[in-house]
Every structure is written in C-alpha cells, then in structure tokens.
Amino acid sequence: IKCIGILTSGGDAPGMNAAIRAVTRTAIYNGFEVKGIMRGYKGLITNEIIPFKTQNVSNIIQQGGTILKTARCMEFMTPEGRKLAYENMTAQGIDALVVIGGDGSLSGARIFASEYNFPIVGMPGTIDNDLFGTDTTIGYDTALNTIMEAVDKIRDTASSHERLFFIEVMGREAGFLALNGAIASGAEAAIIPEIATEVDQLSELIGNGFRKSKNSSIVLVAESELTGGATGLAERVKNEFPQYDVRVTILGHIQRGGSPSASDRILASRMGEASINALLEGQRNVMIGIQNDELVYIPFSKAIKNQKPINRDLLNTIKILSI
Ligand code: ATP
C-alpha cells in the first residue's frame, strides 16, 4: 500500500473530524500518502479527491460535522457507479480506503471491496450506535449529551405547566439514544423499537407517577415505525390523561451537531490510529470496534448483518428510578 484514501459517508456525526485527523496523521507517520475524498462515495464518482498533508487536518478535532462533507450517493449502489469510482480511485493512485460511516456506508464498502479485491477498513461513525461488534460508535456520546441537555430544558417548562411531554429522539430503528437518554435525563419512560410497549403499559407508568403527585412527566420516544414516533404515541394516549397538557417535541437535527465530547474525540482518535494499524497488519474488509476498552476488528459481514442487542435491564432501571 502506498496511498490511502479517506471518506465520510451517510449521516454526519460529531467526532468524524477527529477521526479524519487521526487517520491522516497516523498514515503520514507511517510513510503513506493520504488523499481526502469529498462527499462520501460521490466524490469517488465525480473525482473530487484532494491530497492531504498533516496541515489539512489542523484545528478540526473540536469541530462537529465533517470537513470532507458527506452525501448519500445512489450511483454507488449500481455496478456501473462503482466501476467508475474504482477507475477514478486507481487513476489517483489510491490503493486502500478508510470509510467512516454507518451501516449503509459499510455495506457499500463491503460490496466495493469484494468486487475489486482491494483493502478497505471501516470506522463506525453514527450517532445511532447501531453497529454490531462495537460497544459504542463515534458521535453517540455527543448526541446523548445533546439530548440530555435538551431534555433538562424541556423539564423546566414541563414542571411549571404540569405537562406530559413526548420527546422524539433519533436512532434509525435503534433505541440506544432513547434508552440511555431517558436514564441520563431522569425521564419516566423510554419507548424503543426493540421492545414493544403497549399503550396501557405506558398509561400505567405515567399514571403511577401522577398518583404520586408528580406534576410533570417526560417520555423519550425513538423515531421508528414500530414506536409510531412521539406524535403517533401522543395521539394514542392523550385521552387517558385529561389532567395533563400533552405536548410533543421532536429534537431533530440538533442531535447530529455540536462539538464532539471528550469521549467521542478519544474514541475517534484511537479508532483512526487503529484503522491504519489494521492496514499495516494486512487486515482488510473489517470495521474497527471497541469492546471493553480494547480495539477489535469486526468483519464487515458481521458488523452489518447482526442486530446489536440492547440492554433490556435498563428499562427496568428507568422504571425503578421514576417512582
Ligand atoms: P447513518 O446510519 O448515519 O444514516 P449510513 O452510512 O447508514 O449512515 P446510508 O445512507 O444508508 O447511511 O449509506 C450511505 C451511502 O452508502 C449510500 O448513499 C450509498 O452511496 C452507500 N451504500 C449504502 N448501501 C449500499 C449498498 N448496499 N451498496 C452500495 N452502496 C451502498
């Protein structure tokens, strides 16, 4: 390997810049050339590829978003698109790739690598924490902190007005943000796609709180067809609580922004270094993961295919702590 290309793809996540910095600097430290690819897989197809020196990644560790930009690229889903991507990439002298992104981005990486037989290492960059084989993903901790701060503010108004708030958080069919966000913000309940909660169960939870003379309630709801989202859920339980003023807040894209937390910067830095070490060790088609503070290599096929288990005990924790 002489020249390593790096790209960010899918939804942006805080800490992606710290990852770009770590990959670039570790690669240069080890004598590789580095090229930054703009807008995810799209930049491979449109040939937006820039030589990276150590200075290109100066002063970005603290920035949210990604300096390489990101995009969703339909053309890369086709064999013709990937052929063009491969031709541009090799013409630029790139002979290995580091891809930072979520589930979709790593699926694309897996297909691309197997079609053209060249090394790709992936890094889990998504606020959703939904990649199998890693305890956490780059961006998750920052998003969790953003949710906690937002809920703290909503709590002030909720208790002043005796309101029942349904707060929708992101997660793309995964409940990690809702579940741990609920614990961190002291919410009454978390409604997550992994575990069905019947309306009467939810009513009981909220009703219990009300009887114990709580003057407000907060429920975190993961965005998902399975939960119905905050709006759907609020509609379903509204009639049961005439005493409460039911409100819905959808936190939306604030969850993806902001300066990365210390944990995310450290994780991104360690994983970035590990991605180059993986290539040096001859690893290919693996995602860097972290398990019990140890960096590990997870084959793409495992990281993508398996559903990451959620800790069901945490729902009970929420229940006990909200009496
Ligand atoms: P997030 O979880 O944050 O939304 P993601 O990486 O899952 O991020 P996607 O939009 O699913 O985001 O994927 C990003 C890009 O990866 C797609 O726009 C496409 O270019 C590529 N990609 C996804 N799936 C495939 C696939 N099966 N084959 C080829 N390319 C793919």
> What 3 state SS string does 235-255 have?
HHHHHHCCCCEEEEEECHHHH
Q: Which two tokens stand for residue 254?
A: 């604030």
Q: Which of 10-19, 39-48, 217-226 comes out lowest in average pLDDT?
A: 217-226
- Model confidence at 323: pLDDT above 90: no
Residue nearest to atom 24 of ligand 1 (CA): 104
pLDDT at site 209 = 66
Residue nearest to atom 4 of ligand 1 (CA): 11
Q: Are 141 and 14 in contact (CB under 8 A)?
A: no
Counting from 1 in the atom list of ligand 1, the atom nearest the Cα of 72 is 18
Nearest to 97 by CA among 68, 127, 120, 126: 120
H helix count then E strand count, the chain: 11, 11
pLDDT at site 245 = 81
Render 60-92 in DSSP notation, one character per residue: -TT-SS-TT-----SGGGSHHHHHHHHHHHHHT
The per-residue pLDDT for range 267-315, each reduced to its tens digit, is 999 999 999 999 999 999 999 999 999 999 999 999 998 899 999 999 9
> For the whole model, what pTM was predicted?
0.95
What is the predicted ipTM? Answer: 0.94
**């998003």: which residue's tokens?**
143
**């981005």: which residue's tokens?**
105
The per-residue pLDDT for range 77-113, each reduced to its tens digit, is 999 999 999 999 999 999 999 999 999 999 999 999 9
- Model confidence at 132: pLDDT above 90: yes
Q: How far apart are CA 56 and CA 77, in angstroms?
A: 30
Give the percent of the chain with pLDDT over 90.
81
Q: How far apart are CA 131 and CA 10, in angstroms?
A: 14
Q: Which two tokens stand for residue 202?
A: 């939810």
Residue 11 near ligand 1, beta carbon < 6 Å = yes
Residue nearest to atom 22 of ligand 1 (CA): 108
The per-residue pLDDT for range 182-197, each reduced to its tens digit, is 999 999 999 999 998 8
In eight-state DSSP terms, residue 241 is: -
Q: Which two tokens stand for residue 317?
A: 């924790």
44 CA distance to ligand 1 middle (Å): 14
Counting from 1 in the atom list of ligand 1, the atom nearest the Cα of 41 is 20
Q: How far apart are CA 146 and CA 190, in angstroms?
A: 17
pLDDT at site 212 = 65
Please report how many Cα atoms fall inside a 13 Å half-sphere around the Cα of residue 197, on the Cβ side.
28
Residue 168 near ligand 1, beta carbon < 6 Å = no
Residues marked active site are found at 128
125 CA distance to ligand 1 middle (Å): 12
